[in-house]
Amino acid sequence: MVMESAYVVKDGIAVVSFDNPPVNSLSAAQRKALHEQVLHAAQRDDVQAIVVTGGGGPFCGGAEIREFNTPAQKASPTMPELIEGLDKVDTLLIAAIGGFAFGAGLELAMALHYRVLGAYAQLGLPEVKFGFLPGAGGTQRLPRLIPMEHAAPLMLSGAPLGAQSAFDHGLVDILSHGDLLEDTLDFARKLIAAKAPLRRTSALSPRMESAPADLFATLRADIEKRTPGHKGKLSIVDCCEAAVTLPFEAGREFERARFLELLATPESKALRYNFFAERQAAKIAGVSKDARPHDIRRAAVIGAGTMGAGIAICFMNAGIPVSLVDTQREGLERGMATIRGVYDTQVEKGRLTQEARERALQRVTPSLDLAAAVSDADIVVEAVFERLDLKQQIFRDLERLAPKGAILATNTSMLDIDQIAAVTAREADVIGMHFFSPAHVMRLVEVVRCAKTSDDVLVTVMQLARKLQKTAVLSRVCDGFIGNRMLQRYLQQALFLLDEGCGIAQIDTAMEKFGMAMGPFAVGDLSGLDIGWSIRKRRYVEQPEMIYSRIADRICEAGRLGQKTGEGWYRYEPGSRKRLQDPEVDRILHAHREATGVAQRAVSDEEIVDRLMLALANEGARILDELVAQRASDIDVVYATGYGFPVTKGGPMHYANTLGLDEVLARIRKYQQGYQGGQWQPSPFIVKLAGQGASFE
Ligand SMILES: NC(=O)c1ccc[n+]([C@@H]2O[C@H](COP(=O)([O-])OP(=O)(O)OC[C@H]3O[C@@H](n4cnc5c(N)ncnc54)[C@H](O)[C@@H]3O)[C@@H](O)[C@H]2O)c1
C-alpha cells in the first residue's frame, strides 16, 4: 500500500522524488518505492503528468553497486522491471534532472517521455569503467535519442556529458537556468495544455548518419588497437549494432544477456573492487574525532628537480600559490622551464587556454631564499636529493623559518622519516607525502604517518591530497613504505629469474601480457638504474639477509644507467624510447651466469608472473601484519594507482585472494625448494589466514 503522502500532487501534476541520499542510488528499496509511487499516481484521475526528481539533490547516481551479485539485485522490481514498467505508463512522465544522472539513473530518465536538465548538470553512462555496460535499456535508448556517432563513444568512454552538449545532441528537451522544479512544472503545464503525445523512446527509430557497417567496424578496430580484447567495450559495440538491426524489445534482451555475462567476469569484479577500495583508502581508522584540518592557503616546495617541479604544478593546478626553492640558480631555472613546458604542452594539445596557463603560472614564485619562501607557507614539501643528512639540515632550518603550525612534509622515497622528524622540536608537524614521478600526472600519494605526527596534520594532508586530485593511501614509516618495500621483493625475483636463464625481454613481455603497464626491466631503464643500485648498496650493509642477484650491479658498473645514458637493460637510439636488445648485455649476462654457476633452465611465462605476483603479496601480508598499511585494499590502491598494476586484476592482494591463500601458501612453499629458496619465507599472516580458510580483507 503506497502512502499518498510519499509524493505530492499539485495542479494535476504529481512530483515523485528519489529519497536515497547522498546520490539517490537505485537500491532495491529505492526501486520499489519509485515504482509504486509512479504506478499509484498514474492511476489517479486527478493526475495528468508525473515529474520524477532528485528531490533537491542530484537526480540519481545509478544502480547501487554494492548490491551487485547479491539477492537485492534480483529483488522485484529489478532494474529492467522498473524501467520497462515506466515505459508502459500511460500518463505523461517528465524527468527533472539536477546535479547528475549517471548509469541506471540516466537509463531511467531516458525511459520517461520528456527530460528537463539543470544548466550545470551532467549525464553519463560510466558502466564501462566497471567492466560492464548499461544493462537496463541504455544501449538501446541512447541511440534513439542522440545520433549513434555520439551515443557509442559516450558509452565507450564512460565520460560525463555536460548540460549544453546533452541539449545540443537532443538528449534533453529543455535546459533550466533557474529553479529546476518550477521550470519542469511549467514545462509540464505546457505539455498538458498542448495535449503533447507520450513520446516513448522505445518507439523512436535509432538515429544514425553514417553507414552502420563502417561505423561499427571502425569502433571495433579502435578498441582492438587501444585496449585489445576489452570485453566490456566490444559488447557495447555489439549492443549498439543490435539497436539498429533488431526491434527494440529484441535489442533490449540482447543487451541484458550481455550485461549479465559481463557482470560475472573477474575483470568486472576487480574493477568494482578497485572503485570501493579507493573510497575506503580515504578513511583513517582511529583518528581523534576532534581532529581539525588546517587551511592550506600557501605552499612552498624545496628542491626544483624532477619531483619538486611536478609537485609545484599540483599545487598550482589546485589554485594554491606555491614558492619553489632551490639552492642552485641553474636548478631553479630548469625547474621553472619544466613547469612552463608542461603548461605549454597542454595549451598545444588544446587542453588548456592561454589565459588559464597565465593564471596558473602566476601561482608559482621561484626563489633562492629559503627563509623568504617559507615565511608564510601553511605547508612545506621538501624534495631535495635523497640524503638523510641533507634532509635533516633542511628540517632544522624549517623549524626556525616556517611559521608556527605549518606542516613540514618530505617527499623522501625510502628514508626513515622518524629520523628526519627527530631533529626538530616540531615532530607533530612532520609527515611524509610520497609523490610518484611524474608528480603532476601520477595519482598516488603515500601519506606517511610518523611516530609523532598529529591527527590534525594527518587529516589536513589527506584532505589536501584530494584537493590536489590525488589518491592518498596512508602508510606507517618503514623501509620503502608500502609500494617500494613490496617492489624490492618483486625486483629481487625478476633478477633471480635472469640468473636461472630467463631473458630480459621474456620477463618484461610476460608481465606486460599479464597487464602491467611496463615490465620490471623497462621500468628500471625509464626511471634510472642508479636509484636501485644505491638502494641495494645500502641494503647489502643494513639488511644482509636480503639477497639480490649481482647482475643488476654488473649492468650499472658498465655505466649503463637506463634511458638517460642510452643504455641499460636495453639499448636506445638517440631520441627514441624503443627497447632494442643489446649483445653487450647478453655478454654481461653470460659472464655473470658462468661466474655464479647457477643451473640454467627454461622458465615458463606462468612461473614468471606467479613468482613476481606472489613476491608482492607475501611482502604485502607482512606489511599488514606490521600495521604499516591499514587494510589489504589500500595496498591494492597503491599498486593500481602508482605502479601500473592492471585494474582489471584488482591489485596484488586481490589477486592472491582470487587464487586462494591456501594455494598461495602452497606455491610459496614450492618456491622455497627452488633457486634462492631461502628468500621465500611465507608471511606468518598468510599461514594464519590460509589455516582459517580466510582471505585478506
Ligand atoms: N625521481 C623520482 O622518481 C622520485 C619519486 C618519488 C620520490 N622521489 C624523491 O624526491 C626527492 C627528490 O628527487 P628528484 O628526483 O626530484 O631529485 P633531483 O635530483 O631531480 O632534484 C633535487 C633538487 O634539489 C635541489 N637541492 C639540493 N639541495 C637543496 C637544498 N639544500 N635546498 C634546496 N634545494 C636543494 C637540487 O639543486 C635539485 O634541483 C628525493 O628524496 C627522491 O627520493 C623521487
Kindly report the average pLDDT of the chain as a whole number.
96
Distance, CA of 522 to CA of 505 (rounded, Å)? 9
Q: What is the pLDDT of residues 578-597, one digit of tens each?
A: 999 999 999 999 999 999 99
CATH number attached to the domain at 4-262: 3.90.226.10
Residue minimizing CA distance to atom 39 of ligand 1: 305
Q: Using 50, 70 and 90 to split pLDDT, how confident is the model at 560?
A: very high
Q: Residue 497: pLDDT above 70?
A: yes
Asked if the model's pLDDT at residue 57 lies above 90, the reply is no
pLDDT at position 270: 93
Q: Mutation test of ligand 1: which of 385, 394, 412 has the most ligand atoms closer than 8 Å to its C-beta?
A: 385
Q: Taking residues 418-436, report their average pLDDT.
A: 98
For residue 309, the ligand 1 atom closest to its alpha carbon is: 16
CA distance 188 to 185: 5
Q: How far is the CA of 561 from the centre of ligand 1 (A)?
A: 18
Please compute the mean of the pLDDT values over residues 383-396 and round it to a whole number.
97
Considering only CA atoms, which residue is closest to atom 4 of ligand 1? Answer: 437
Active-site residue among 4, 64, 81, 127? Answer: 127
- Which among 325, 408, 410 has a CA at the least distance from the CA of 370? 325
Mutate to test the pocket of ligand 1, among 413, 485, 530 (most ligand atoms within 8 A of CB): 413
- For ligand 1, residues with CB inside 6 Å are 302-308, 325-328, 331, 383-386, 390, 394, 411-413, 435-437, 527
Residue 527 CA, closest ligand 1 atom number: 3
Contact predicate 587/595, CB 8 Å: no
CA distance from start to end of the chain = 41
Which set of grid coordinates corresponds to residue 41?
499516481
Residue extents of the structural domains in the chain: 4-262, 299-477, 484-692
Distance CA 649, CA 615 (A): 16
484-692 belongs to CATH 1.10.1040.50: yes
The CA 7 to ligand 1 mean position distance, Å, reads: 61
Q: Is the pLDDT of residue 27 over 80?
A: yes
Q: Is the pLDDT of residue 3 over 60?
A: no
Least confident span in 65-79, 112-126, 376-390, 652-666:
65-79
Stretch 114-139: mean pLDDT: 96
Residue nearest to atom 30 of ligand 1 (CA): 327
Q: DSSP label at 599?
A: P
Side chain identity, residue 467: K
Query: Quick one: pLDDT at residue 212?
Result: 81
The per-residue pLDDT for range 249-296, each reduced to its tens digit, is 999 999 999 999 999 999 999 999 999 999 999 999 989 999 999 999
User: What's the distance, CA 119 to chain centroid?
Assistant: 28
Query: pLDDT band at 1, cuts 50/70/90?
Result: very low
C-alpha cell at 295: 587551511
Under 8 Å between Cβ of 242 and 251: yes
Which pLDDT band, with edges at 50, 70 and 90, does 192 fall under? very high
Query: pLDDT tens for residues 134-153?
Result: 999 999 999 999 999 999 99
Atom of ligand 1 nearest to the CA of 410: 41
* Measured distance CA(277)–CA(284) in Å, rounded: 13
Q: How do residues 592-640 score in pLDDT, each as one tens digit?
A: 999 999 999 999 999 999 999 999 999 999 999 999 999 999 999 999 9
Decide if 149 is catalytic. Answer: no
Work out whether the CA dihedral 149, 155, 157, 163 comes out positive or negative. Answer: positive
| Nine-digit cell string for 52 | 520524477
Amino acid at residue number 365: T
Ligand 1 centre from 84 Cα, in Å? 59
Active-site residue, selected from the candidate residues 64, 107, 255, 446: 107
3-state secondary structure 212-263: HHHHHHHHHHHHHHHCCCCHHHHHHHHHHHHHHHCCHHHHHHHHHHHHHHHH
E strand map for 369-482: 379-382, 407-410, 430-435, 444-449, 471-476
CA of 409 to the centre of ligand 1 (A): 14
Q: How far apart are CA 613 and CA 605, in angstroms?
A: 12
Compute the distance from residue 643 Cα to the ligand 1 centre, in Å: 20
pLDDT band at 5 (very low <50, low <70, confident <90, very high): low
267 is catalytic: no
Predicted confidence at residue 68, as pLDDT, reads 82
Ligand 1, residue 307: give the atom nearest the CA: 16
Q: Quick one: average pLDDT of 429-436? A: 98
pLDDT at 224 over 90: no
pLDDT value at residue 209: 85
Confidence of residue 230 (pLDDT cuts 50, 70, 90): confident
Q: Closest Cα to atom 11, ligand 1: which residue?
A: 383
What is 299-477's CATH number, 3.40.50.720, 1.10.10.10, 3.90.1280.20, 2.40.50.320?
Answer: 3.40.50.720
pLDDT at 66: 85
What spacing in Å lies between the alpha carbon of 447 and ligand 1's midpoint? 18
What SS3 class is residue 628?
A: coil
Q: Which residue is listed with cell 619531483?
A: 307
- How far is the centre of ligand 1, averaged over its atoms, from the C-alpha of 346 (Å)? 25
pLDDT at 55: 87
